[in-house]
Amino acid sequence: MLVIENITKKFGGLVAVDDVNIRVAPKTIHSIIGPNGAGKTTLFNVLTGVYKPEHGIVKLEGHRISGHLPEHIAARGVGRTFQNIRLFGSMKVFENVLVGLHVHTRYTYFDALLHTPRFVRGEDSARTKAIQLLDYTGLSHRAEELARNLPYGEQRRLEIARALAVQPKLLLLDEPAAGMNPSESAALKDLIRKIRGELGITIVLIEHHMQVVMEISDRITVLDYGKKIAEGTPAEVRDNPEVIEAYLGSSALKK
């Protein structure tokens, strides 16, 4: 589904992502973990065209996407959520999903301006679709509320609903469990599994919440200082001495 080949991304002298190779198989849940500053979010920004890598190539279903604009990559079927939630807080919950759906609407600016039948039809079906997506993510009871009034865990689910609106083949989730309580993160696990199982969407998950990662991942890649230091099944990664070292090192640094 996704091939990341020899990707390097630098910020000045800092090598944030250092010659990373990852292959993500279709319909898997593939997690990327690593200490703070390991380069995980930077890698997502390379995958989605926000940053151009200095080296390397990214392919989606065999076609190169690196070097393309973010909106082209999104249109090719790559959806994402953000580590720092990026909702339109003063818009209603369902309107936030509509924003995602408008990537797919066919009418022109003039249709919208003149309220042509094509525009009205498009808007009606977009609204129906938005409500369906809110149902799917367990947020339909919040549809009319302002996004900023939702509790944190529900804002993260709303980001997922919006990302699903672009009908992705590949969904990139950047720390979706951050700030969630145990029951919210349990519900999130179920939602991620459902998205993969029912919708057949491939998922790449960045997450610090180890219980979530270990329970739902088919495969895990570990980054540290921009480099891939380990990869394998949850059991393989958990027992890898280099991984344990990287995590112990980082928590020691924080103290």
Ligand X SMILES: Nc1ncnc2c1ncn2[C@@H]1O[C@H](COP(=O)(O)OP(=O)(O)OP(=O)(O)O)[C@@H](O)[C@H]1O
Residues that bind Mg ion (CB under 5 A): 40-41, 83
Residue 42 within binding range of ligand X, rule CB under 6 A: yes
The residue whose two tokens read 């797919």 is: 104
Strand segments (E) across the chain: 2-11, 14-24, 29-33, 55-60, 63-64, 78-80, 170-174, 202-206, 219-224, 227-232
Considering beta carbons, is residue 28 or 83 the nearer one to Mg ion? Answer: 83
Using rule CB under 6 A, residue 156 touches ligand X: no
Q: Are 163 and 195 in contact (CB under 8 A)?
A: no
| Nearer Cβ to Mg ion (40/189) | 40
Query: Which range of residues in 30-38, 91-99, 212-220, 245-253 is near ligand X by CB under 6 A?
Result: 30-38
Cβ contact 139:161 at 8 Å: yes
The answer to whether 60 and 101 are in contact (CB under 8 A) is no
* Contact partner at residue 42 from ligand X, Mg ion, none, CB < 5 to 8 Å by partner kind: ligand X
Torsion sign over Cα 243, 79, 51, 89: negative
Told to check if 66 binds ligand X by CB under 6 A, we report: no
DSSP labels, 99-121: HHHTTS----HHHHHHT-HHHHH
Asked if 37 is part of the footprint of ligand X (rule: CB under 6 A), the reply reads yes
250 makes contact with ligand X (CB under 6 A): no
Minimum gap (Å) between residue 38 Cβ and ligand X: 4
Q: Which does 37 bind (CB under 5 to 8 A by kind): Mg ion, ligand X, none?
A: ligand X
First-to-last C-alpha distance (Å) of the chain? 40
Q: Closer CB to ligand X, residue 17 or residue 166? A: 17
DSSP per residue, 172-191: EEESTTTT--HHHHHHHHHH
Beta carbons within 10 angstroms of residue 181's beta carbon:
11
- Specify the residue, 118 or 208, whose C-beta has the smaller distance to ligand X: 208
Q: Going residue by residue from 82 to 121, which x/- string records binding to ligand X, judged by CB under 6 A?
A: -x--------------------------------------
Residue nearest to Mg ion (CB): 41
16 touching ligand X, by CB under 6 A: yes
| Residues of this chain that bind ligand X (CB under 6 A) | 11, 14, 16, 34, 36-42, 83
